[in-house]
Amino acid sequence: MLSGERVSHVFVVVSTIDQVPLARHETARILASWHIDTETAFTAGLIVTELVANVAEHAAAESPTATVMLAADAHWLTVAVHDTHPRLPRALATPHDDGGRGLRMVMLLTEEAGGLHTVEPTACGGKHIVVHLPLRVGLPA
């Protein structure tokens, strides 16, 4: 990671399932260029994969695109996915509930990494899913 410098990158994908690998690849490319440790980068890639897939599966009718935002400073990597569908997602409460598995997986990956996650409505009626992952300082990318 660049010393003390905050970096960010934003990209947009079409809300279709074939864009999911493109979003994961772009995430991996950017995080490698920032020298984010491999474990955190892998976790972030899985999170982006799940969130973009969720937009494609559940929100595409009202959100033709999804915006992915990546940002990092010396201590945290932030991953956010925004769509314009007004419905806020719910993570399943138990393993046998219907739906919500993708968001539940994002929550578990985030918690396992020692991070934080939020689902935030936006003023324009959409939502952001925001994940903050702690960076492993001093580890190779």
Homologous superfamily, domain 7-134: Histidine kinase-like ATPase, C-terminal domain (3.30.565.10)
Q: What is the mean pLDDT of the chain?
A: 89
Residue ranges, the chain, pLDDT below 50: 139, 141
Interval 78-116: pLDDT, tens:
999 999 998 877 655 555 555 557 788 899 999 999 999
Domain boundaries, the chain: 7-134
Distance in angstroms (rounded) separating the CA atoms of residues 69 and 128: 10
What confidence score (pLDDT) does residue 106 get? 93
pTM, whole model, 2 decimals? 0.88
What confidence score (pLDDT) does residue 136 get? 82
What confidence score (pLDDT) does residue 104 get? 86
| Amino acid at residue number 15 | S
Q: Which residues of 89-108 are buried (b: 16+ CB within 10 A; e: fewer)?
A: bebbeeeeeeebebbbbbbe
Distance in angstroms (rounded) separating the CA atoms of residues 5 and 55: 31
